[in-house]
Structure 1
Amino acid sequence: MPPDHIDLLLIHRPDPLMDADEVAEAFLALHHSGKVRHFGVSNFTPAQFTLLQSRLPFTLATNQVEISPVHQPLLLDGTLDQLQQLRIRPMAWSCLGGGRLFNDDSFQPLRDELARVAQELNAESIEQVVYAWILRLPSQPLPIIGSGKMERVRSAVVAEKLKMSRQQWFRIRKAALGYDVP
């Protein structure tokens, strides 16, 4: 039996031809019909998010964005700051860098630092440390676990209990960037 409604519908990516009024009209029609309960976006810049939000009578639920030690632009571009200001939790995709974290030799220093922090935190894996690193962000991201394997999902849940210090967090950032953070 097909579902009678969708809990959360996201616009997958920004569209340079997006007319915010048209999108808002479609969102409102879906919402009023009861087919969709909540709406969000994916990979929107702060300006794009603000534009669409300005046309809606309800708050967008999230902005699904790439957050990972191997992909850090959002830490400084205002996206996470805006979501924190609005008290909207981002959804974090590609937390493990799409496998690059494990397969790319240039990330060996990062893997080494993650292993050191894992030992310090008594974590079971460097994956858990990556999730803890993301969860340490004040915007309170909700990591998307890109696996259907229950053991990986359970392992990621444990990361919520890890208490990463500010120093550990910045050591991981530095190792990922390859230079000291001023």
Structure 2
Amino acid sequence: MRIMPLEKRGISNSRIVFGCMGLGGDWTSAPLTKEDYIVAEKAVEAALSIGITMFDHADIYKRGKSETVFGEILKKRPDLRDQIILQSKVGIRFQDDVNPQRFDFSKNHIIPSVDGILSRLGVEHLDVLLLHRPDPLMEPEEIAEAFNLLRSAGKVRHFGVSNMTAAQMRFIQNSLPEPLVVNQLELSLARLDWIEQGILVNQKAGIDVNFEGGILEHCQMADIQLQAWGPLAKGKFSGRAIEDEPENIKHTAALVQKLAAQKETTPEAIVLGWLMKHPARIQPVIGTSSPERVLACQDALRASENMTREEWYTLLESSRGVRVP
């Protein structure tokens, strides 16, 4: 079994991450309801029951309510904090009455944002903090200063990024004394730019690929954990209504169902297993709050290990809608 970069660093061996964006009710400032707490508790319990021990947050998720409702779970189960890895993200600021929506990697935003995260979660430290999306105005030296202050204060143990290129990671890393440990990207069987970028080298078809070259290779060489957000492709291949989807999606959904039946597993396991088969040791971040769908992901690692190279390429070809060149 290939060891994940986070496991190499002694941070986490959770092969799947539970993404908490679905917790906390709606995206308004409306108060949390009793039902919101019940939904969160059931989803987290389902994740724990299948061996998930890493939980991914962001300060903006449900305008802070995702972290708040998770904090209530930790308050009820104080023993749980030492059994899990908590990851959160900062750097996106919502539009308000005066300012536009924007990114902010300034020290004056990062540090109080982390304080807010810790307060909502009711914990003393984060295991991993990610910069959420690239800030065009970022200054690596200032980021490093913020990270050093957070680490020295015991508030954050490790740092990473989300949705960044290899060049952006190197740009930030150049000012940091400690390695970046995560890059979180949208990767799935339905979002294939990360594969297309590699196989369409020196071909006209690759001109329109929207994925920066070298990200996967850089992360593998630097032992940066690649995490995949949206890995279940919003259920396109595992039961969601797809009458209006193109033929390649319909064909791939049928193929996923067929493979799941043959391997006596779930469509979710096949979809995640396809991602996890990649040698980059991708760590899916599942975003469902449905306990049933969480449980359906339990067999993903076995599905990955039992998937042949030919089955992997068959799924790729089906989702692409054309054969591999």
TM over 0.5: yes
Cα displacement string for residues 10-64 of structure 1 (whole angstroms, at most 9, x for unaligned residues):
1111112111111111111111111111111100011111111121111111001
Instruction: Tell me if structure 1 keeps the 8 A contact 2:181–2:223.
Output: no
CA contact (8 A) 1:46 1:78 kept: yes
SS of structure 2 residue aligned to 1:144: strand
Residue in 2 that maps onto 1:88: 224
Q: TM-score, normalised by structure 2?
A: 0.53
Aligned residue runs from structure 1 range 107-146, under 5 A? 107-123=249-265, 125-146=266-287
1:152 partner amino acid: R
Residue in 2 aligned with 1:66?
186
CA shift at 1:130, angstroms? 0.5
For 1:42-57, list aligned pairs within 5 A: 42-57=162-177
Give the % identical residues: 36
**Where do 5+ consecutive residues of structure 2 fail to align?**
1-74, 76-121, 199-212
Question: What is the CA deviation profile of residues 137-166 of structure 1, one whole-angstrom value per residue up to 9, with x for unaligned ones?
Answer: 111111111123333223212111121111
1:100 Cα deviation from its structure 2 partner: 4.5
TM-score (norm 1): 0.92
Note if 1:98 corresponds to 2:234.
yes
The one-letter code of the counterpart of 1:168 is E
Instruction: Give the Cα separation in 2 of the matches to 1:152 and 1:7.
Output: 26
- Runs of 4+ in structure 1 over 4 Å off: none
Aligned pair count reads 181
Opposite residue 173 of structure 1, the aligned amino acid is L
- Conservation of the 8 A alpha-carbon contact between 2:140 and 2:172: yes
User: Displacement of 1:122 after TM fit?
Assistant: 2.2
Determine the structure 1 residue equivalent to 2:316. 173
CA contact (8 A) 1:13 1:43 kept: yes
For 1:15 and 1:134, how far apart are their aligned partners in 2? Answer: 28
Q: CA deviation at 1:117?
A: 2.1
Amino acid paired to 2:142: E
C-alpha RMSD of matched pairs (Å): 1.6
Between structure 1 and structure 2, the one with the greater Rg is: 2
Where do 5+ consecutive residues of structure 1 fail to align?
A: none
